[in-house]
Amino acid sequence: MSYSVRQATEDEARELPALEMDAAQAFRDFGLESIADDEPWADDYYLYFLDATRAGQVWVAIDDRDGRVVGFAVAGEMDGQAYVAETSVRAAHARRGLGRRLMTTLIDWAKRDRYREVVLTTFRDIPFNAPFYRTLGFREIEAGADRPELAAVRQREKDAGIEIRPRIAMALRLQDGAD
């Protein structure tokens, strides 16, 4: 199979919530049914994706055979650094390197925009979470006083009940980032 990765278009923003729900089914294998069963939190959830798309911070993986969106990565900024808000790949297209391609595209964006690091939060022991990010060079970090926005995200995750299994914050230091 052949895939392309590129910036998302505004028309594709409506597709991303359903794709996210499809990709979340992988959490069932790890006892995280609550994540797999979580519905988008609002009828206009796609507006989150639309806003990020308009900001140039959403990339999609496209199945070159039919032009369908099969994965995405969403970035943002947190504590003055690039932030990985989410990556998702449809179950039928998983384990083909699309997550890695989406992440390297996001990392390249962060380098171009001269961020010093890319940060994210993730599950510590789920293979397509922290172990995967470690293969890209991410390392565990503390979300302390020097990272107030990241600390707030970690607290919101705990308050929302997402921390069913241990979650961590991670960062990738960018050699070409701004000083």
Q: How does pLDDT run across 35-44, given as a tens digit for each residue?
A: 888 776 556 7
Q: What is the pLDDT of residues 9-53, one digit of tens each?
A: 999 998 999 999 999 999 999 988 888 887 765 567 788 899 999
Percent of the chain with pLDDT over 70: 93
CATH class of the 3-173 domain in this structure? alpha beta
Contact 132, 101 (CB under 8 A): no
Q: What is the pLDDT of residues 121-150, one digit of tens each?
A: 999 999 999 999 999 999 999 988 889 999
pLDDT of residue 179: 46
Q: What is the mean pLDDT of residues 57-67?
A: 97
Contact 11, 50 (CB under 8 A): no
Compute the Cα dihedral for 78, 79, 80, 83 and give only its sign. negative
Per-residue pLDDT at 170 exceeds 60: yes
pLDDT of residue 117: 96
Burial of 111 (0-12, 13-18, 19+ CB in 10 A): middle
Per-residue pLDDT at 92 exceeds 70: yes
User: In this structure, what token pair is assigned to residue 100?
Assistant: 């890695």
> What pLDDT band is residue 155 in, cutting at 50, 70 and 90?
confident
Give the DSSP H or E segment for 51: helix 46-54
Q: Nearest-CA neighbor of 52 among 84, 97, 96? A: 84
Report the range of poorest mean pLDDT among 104-113, 124-133, 147-156.
Answer: 147-156
C-alpha distances in Å from residue 53, one per residue of 26, 60, 70, 99, 135: 25, 10, 16, 18, 27
